[in-house]
């Protein structure tokens, strides 16, 4: 079988390590399933991102939706990253992690009134607006408290991100953003919204984009649009290109990230604005793994099934989008043959699969497998379905192990739920 390794997830003496920690030893202490994140991998990914856009006037606002563990947010904020929050809950987390308001962007495709009130009463760098109604509400709520809200209209540039349809966000008819024509009407009527400073413009065309074309087309289209906005007397200070930069999920994938960045730099420079990036997956995905024990091996018809103690409750991406995650044993044993198996979870859903017909080294029950690239859109999408407790999140820094979040207890499952005698 192929192995997925990085500088921070490597095999030593046939045993998988995260930085200097042997993962087999870690699971003995903390059990499975467990999420493990490498601090130095997060740092390296962030630095790689920043380096690729050197020479540009830009800032990174890490998209907390991809992994909002408090310490992940804190590590990135300490490196100089702002944080893009998508809801009141993510705002709360970012504040708990110590992020200053000015380092926050308030995103959200359907903000509630409470979220709008929170956003306008804080001092975030920008609040995104995704419809005329939202612009009206932001103006009204800011007016009530005598503030001028810094707003970025999220435009739908109608560019196909050429990625999975479930993570494409900028095609015609999408629920995300505002059309060009409606945005021009809003900008033309800017004087009707005295409590808004239209200082930004925003797009986010999709996720896991691995080729330059969708980004280049989107920026070119937006460049023409910015000229029209300028003609209406609106001076845009921040151009927010969103996130979406793809990563290598398979050992054989070859990242074109630096190539994409090099093509984007001159284009973005010509916009004459501060550029804002909101990468999520690029920063955290390959910095995390989900470790899970094989609880059963069985046959079903002509299939060999490996059932893990993690399921879609801990990593829903394969069931949700048919996503590929490389899966490999913590212990390599060259005497064992490769076998072709379906790898499932223990959840009562037939979509509870991690992989179908996957080649993997034959591994026995009670051994542990590593599901790679589980640092993004894994723990944040986890659930208590089937009465399951969320796993711990552990952060490794060289030879140090930090439990950032413990395994939920059964009491967590009952949070504030009570027996009502009258019923
Ligand atoms: C508005 C916005 N910004 C940033 C991101 C982060 O995307 P990615 O993790 O693909 O970089 C998302 C993801 O859905 C998003 O919706």
Q: What is the reported pLDDT for 166?
A: 73
Q: What is the reported pLDDT for 300?
A: 95
Q: Which residues participate in catalysis according to the annotation?
A: 348
- Which residue minimizes the CA distance to atom 14 of ligand 1? 207
**pLDDT per position as a tens digit, 373-410:** 999 999 999 999 999 999 999 999 999 999 999 999 99
Q: What is the reported pLDDT for 1?
A: 87
CB neighbours (10 Å) of residue 44? 17
CA atoms of 82 and 121, how far apart (whole Å): 19
Distance 72 CA to ligand 1 centre (A): 16
Which atom of ligand 1 lies at the shortest distance from residue 66's CA? 9
Does residue 91 sit in helix, strand or coil?
helix
**pLDDT per position as a tens digit, 78-118:** 999 999 999 999 999 999 999 999 999 999 999 999 999 99
CA atoms of 106 and 353, how far apart (whole Å): 34
Residue-level pLDDT, tens digit, the chain, 423 residues:
899 999 999 999 999 999 999 999 999 999 999 999 999 999 999 999 999 999 999 999 999 999 999 999 999 999 999 999 999 999 999 999 999 999 999 999 999 999 999 999 999 999 999 999 999 999 999 999 999 999 999 999 988 777 777 767 777 888 999 999 999 999 999 999 999 999 999 999 999 999 999 999 999 999 999 999 999 999 999 999 999 999 999 999 999 999 999 999 999 999 999 999 999 999 999 999 999 999 999 999 999 999 999 999 999 999 999 999 999 999 999 999 999 999 999 999 999 999 999 999 999 999 999 999 999 999 999 999 999 999 999 999 999 999 999 999 999 999 999 999 999
Q: What is the reported pLDDT for 172?
A: 80
Residue 196 dihedral angles phi and psi, to the nearest 5°: -125, 135
In this structure, are strands 21-22 and 15-18 parallel, antiparallel, or unpaired? Answer: antiparallel
Q: Which residue from 85, 278, 373 has its CB within 8 A of the most atoms of ligand 1, so it is best to mutate?
A: 278
Q: What is the reported pLDDT for 169?
A: 72
Q: Which residue from 49, 65, 166, 257 has its CB within 8 A of the most atoms of ligand 1, so it is best to mutate?
A: 65
> Could you confirm whether domain 107-279 is CATH 3.20.20.10?
yes
Distance 207 CA to ligand 1 centre (A): 6
Q: What is the reported pLDDT for 217?
A: 96
pTM: 0.97
CA atoms of 36 and 346, how far apart (whole Å): 21
User: Is 410 buried (19+), middle (13-18) or exposed (0-12) by CB count in 10 A?
Assistant: exposed
Cα within 13 Å of Cα(352), Cβ side = 19
CB 123 within 8 A of CB 145: no
Which atom of ligand 1 lies at the shortest distance from residue 208's CA? 10
Which atom of ligand 1 lies at the shortest distance from residue 279's CA? 11
Distance 417 CA to ligand 1 centre (A): 34
CB 79 within 8 A of CB 43: yes
CB 188 within 8 A of CB 224: no
Distance 242 CA to ligand 1 centre (A): 6
Distance 150 CA to ligand 1 centre (A): 21
Give DSSP secondary structure letters for 350-388.
TT-EEEEEEEEE---TT-EEEE-S-SSSSGGG---GGGP
- The domain segmentation of the chain, as residue ranges, is 9-38+285-413, 107-279
Within 8 A by CB and 6+ apart from 198, the residues are 151, 152, 153, 186, 187, 190, 234, 236
Which atom of ligand 1 lies at the shortest distance from residue 107's CA? 1
- Which residue minimizes the CA distance to atom 12 of ligand 1? 243
> Could you confirm whether domain 9-38+285-413 is CATH 3.90.420.10?
no
Distance 205 CA to ligand 1 centre (A): 9
Q: What is the reported pLDDT for 108?
A: 96
Does residue 161 sit in helix, strand or coil?
coil
Distance 161 CA to ligand 1 centre (A): 12
Distance 208 CA to ligand 1 centre (A): 9
| Residue 25 vs residues 21, 113, 246, 271: alpha-carbon distances, Å | 8, 48, 32, 51
Which atom of ligand 1 lies at the shortest distance from residue 285's CA? 9
Distance 4 CA to ligand 1 centre (A): 24
Of 80, 194, 73, which Cα lies nearest the Cα of 144? 194
Within 8 A by CB and 6+ apart from 244, the residues are 161, 163, 204, 205, 206, 207, 208, 209, 215, 279
DSSP lists the bridge partners of residue 82 as 61
Chain centre distance of CA 366: 31
Per-residue exposure over 166-186, b if at least 16 CB sit within 10 Å of its own CB, e if not? ebbbbbeeeebbbebebbbeb
Of 328, 253, 288, 400, which Cα lies nearest the Cα of 8? 288
CA atoms of 205 and 216, how far apart (whole Å): 11
Which atom of ligand 1 lies at the shortest distance from residue 282's CA? 11
Which atom of ligand 1 lies at the shortest distance from residue 244's CA? 10
Residues with CB under 6 A from ligand 1: 63, 65-66, 84, 107, 204, 207, 242-245, 278-282
């Amino acid at each position: 079988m192929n192995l997925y390794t990085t500088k921070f997830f490597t095999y030593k003496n046939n045993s998988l390590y995260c930085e200097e920690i042997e993962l087999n030893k870690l699971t003995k202490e903390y059990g499975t399933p467990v999420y493990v994140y490498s601090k130095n991998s997060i740092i390296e990914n962030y630095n790689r991102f920043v380096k690729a856009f050197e020479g540009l006037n830009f800032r990174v606002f890490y998209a907390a939706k991809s992994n909002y563990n408090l310490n992940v947010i804190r590590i990135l904020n300490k490196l100089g990253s702002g944080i893009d929050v998508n809801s009141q809950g993510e705002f709360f987390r970012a504040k708990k992690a110590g992020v200053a308001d000015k380092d926050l962007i308030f995103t959200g495709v359907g903000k509630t009134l409470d979220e709008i009130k929170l956003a306008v009463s804080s001092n975030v760098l920008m609040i995104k607006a995704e419809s005329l109604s939202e612009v009206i509400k932001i103006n009204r709520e800011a007016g009530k408290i005598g503030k001028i809200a810094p707003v970025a209209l999220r435009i739908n540039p109608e560019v196909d991100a050429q990625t999975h349809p479930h993570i494409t966000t900028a095609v015609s008819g999408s629920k995300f953003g505002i059309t060009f024509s409606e945005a021009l009407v809003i900008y033309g009527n800017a004087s009707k919204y005295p409590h808004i400073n239209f200082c930004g413009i925003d797009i986010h065309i999709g996720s896991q984009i691995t080729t330059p074309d969708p980004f280049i087309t989107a920026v070119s289209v937006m460049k023409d649009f910015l000229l029209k906005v300028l003609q209406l007397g609106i001076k845009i200070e921040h151009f927010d290109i969103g996130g979406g930069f793809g990563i290598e999920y398979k050992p054989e994938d070859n990242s074109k990230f630096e190539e994409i960045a090099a093509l984007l730099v001159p284009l973005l420079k010509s916009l004459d604005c501060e550029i804002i990036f909101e990468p999520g997956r690029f920063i955290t995905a390959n910095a995390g793994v989900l470790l899970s024990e094989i609880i059963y091996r069985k046959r079903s018809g002509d299939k060999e099934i490996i059932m893990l103690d993690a399921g879609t409750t801990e990593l829903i991406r394969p069931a949700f989008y048919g996503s590929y995650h490389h899966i490999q044993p913590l212990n390599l044993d060259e005497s064992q043959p490769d076998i072709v198996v379906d790898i499932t979870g223990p959840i009562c859903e037939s979509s509870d699969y991690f992989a179908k017909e996957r080649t993997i080294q034959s591994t026995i029950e009670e051994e542990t497998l590593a599901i790679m690239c589980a640092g993004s859109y894994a723990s944040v999408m986890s659930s208590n379905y089937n009465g399951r407790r969320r796993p711990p999140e552990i952060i490794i820094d060289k030879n140090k192990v930090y439990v950032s979040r413990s395994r939920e207890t059964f009491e967590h499952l009952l949070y504030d739920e009570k027996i009502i005698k009258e019923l």
